[in-house]
Amino acid sequence: MDTYIAMTKYVSATIGDQPTDGSLPIVQGTMGPAGVDIQALYSRHGVLAFDPGFRSTASCKSAITFVDGDEGVLLYRGYPIEELAEHSTLVEVAYLLMHGDLPTAVQRAEFDRAIGQYNLLHEQVMSFYNGFRRDAHPMAVMVAVVGALSAFYHDVIDIRNPQDRTRAAIRLIAKMPMIAAASYTYFMGRQQRYPINKLDYSANFLQMMFGLPTSEYVVDPVLARAVDVILILHADHEQNASTSTVRLAASSGANPFACIAAGIASLWGPAHGGANEAVVRMLHEIGSVENIPKAIARAKDKSDSFRLMGFGHRIYKNFDPRSRVIQAQAKKVLAHLGKDDPLLEIAIRLEEIALKDEYFVERKLYPNVDFYSGILLQAMGFPLNMFTAVFAVARTTGWASHWLELQEEAHGIDRPRQIYVGQTLRHYPKK
Ligand code: CMC
């Protein structure tokens, strides 16, 4: 039987109270819920906080991204995601996330120059790709290649030096499009193209993905802008699984490239970044509007492991603001390309039906960013297994910014505790 304890025994402070009775202090941010500082819980009271899944745990203070899941609000450094998606670029957003403010014209020019300086991959890194099977998943290749970069840039990074840290973050952001593109061109058996510095970040990503060595790649500005929007929307999302993984790895002082490789591994799962790929697979499986009720029934059936991919979110209990922007982009790109994707029709109808269904309403399950992003990526020609790799390119800006923020703190290694439920002491049998 569970035993219960009155919270007041442990937490009797309100904001502004001084702890007089063993109560714990409240930590207040600038927006969002306050936290109870339980760092002294164990030393004062001999108990641990138990929160598997971290549903009620703030693992750190952060000034980068704010999410209000009830209101469907997402801000990067205070700027609404919708405004950034409309007016900004991935490179400007990367600067904003890293440095806290939008760049001036001079800062922007310097940042662009640095991206252009560091966007090439060492030729020995390129030869690294040849060790993979041709059909390797791009995320598997990216985990390995980004991790391998720590072998190229270890001795040149002193993580106590702010300049070295910034350079490492820019190197990561700059190299990511080529790393992702090369995992695709290797699979295609095509020679990898180099970045072209007169092109911007997203246009470059497109030409490195789809350009042929035999002809000039003409960048379609509508597609380049759509890529930029996708990258902006996926750039950061506070302490999600992959970002927390990066921070945890970084807390030991590990090499930044190794930390980002850990983030890529975490992102890959279908409950996280892998959902965009899973959504398109699901929509194909549903096949037509007539089959939607059957899919909804399966998603509600607890004996069936099927879930509506692209629906639900740990934090958003309202519309994910990114899903609206992505849906509009998907429609725009399909119209621009003169394509009529039946998957979009299925997705829109599925959303309509699910949003009226009691099961989804009660549980506050709304479409998330991944519900439409796969349709958009597919329309632009990205193969299914590259969807999460595109997400990784975008999220590198957020991971790098969190890595930088963590280096400014001095709280030591992250080391969660556990509630041990194994065997009590027993002795090795005497022979
Ligand atoms: N389809 C059907 N039922 C669902 C779904 C879904 N997509 N999502 C949640 N539920 C149900 C769940 O079964 C549970 O029901 P009950 O209360 O009866 O047990 C209830 O809703 C609460 O779900 P939960 O599993 O406690 O929610 P969570 O916060 O642990 O999980 C989630 C969030 C995103 C992992 C989950 O909603 C999910 O698996 N969604 C599908 C995968 C997906 O789209 N992931 C992308 C997330 S956004 C991008 C990113 O963060 O990387």
Q: How far apart are CA 100 and CA 93, in angstroms?
A: 10
- Residue for token digits 């035999």? 214
Please give the Cα distance from 333 to 336 (Å, whole number). 5
Residue pLDDT, tens place only, 313-345: 999 998 899 999 999 999 999 999 998 888 989
The amino acid occupying position 330 is A
Spacing, Cα 361 to ligand 1 middle (Å): 13
Work out the average pLDDT over 110-128.
95
In this predicted structure, what is the pLDDT of residue 13?
45
Strands 73-76 and 26-27: unpaired
- Judged by average pLDDT, the poorest of 9-23, 33-47, 262-276, 393-407 is 9-23
Q: What is the pLDDT of residue 15?
A: 44
Q: Ligand 1, residues 239, 296, 314: which to mutate, most atoms within 8 A of Cβ?
A: 314
Which residue in this structure is represented by tokens 């405004």?
A: 83
Which residue bears the tokens 């469907």? 72
Q: Average model confidence (pLDDT) for the chain?
A: 92
* Catalytic site includes residue 51: no
List CB contacts of 330: < 8 A, sequence separation 6 or more: 344, 372, 375, 376, 379
Name residues contacting ligand 1 (CB within 6 A). 240, 271-273, 275, 299, 307-314, 363, 365, 368-370
pLDDT for the residue 319: 87
Q: For position 3, what pLDDT does the model report?
A: 66
- 257: closest CA among 181, 138, 156? 156
pLDDT of 206-225, one tens digit each? 999 999 989 999 999 999 99
Res 7: pLDDT: 58
Handedness of CA 6, 11, 15, 17 (dihedral sign): positive
Tokens of residue 57, six digits: 């745990």
CA of 311 to the centre of ligand 1 (A): 7
How many CB atoms neighbour CB 269 within 10 A? Answer: 15
**AA identity, residue 84:** L
- The pTM of the whole model exceeds 0.85: yes
Structure tokens at 7: 């919270």
Segment 335-382, tens digit of pLDDT: 999 988 889 899 999 999 999 999 999 999 999 999 999 999 999 999
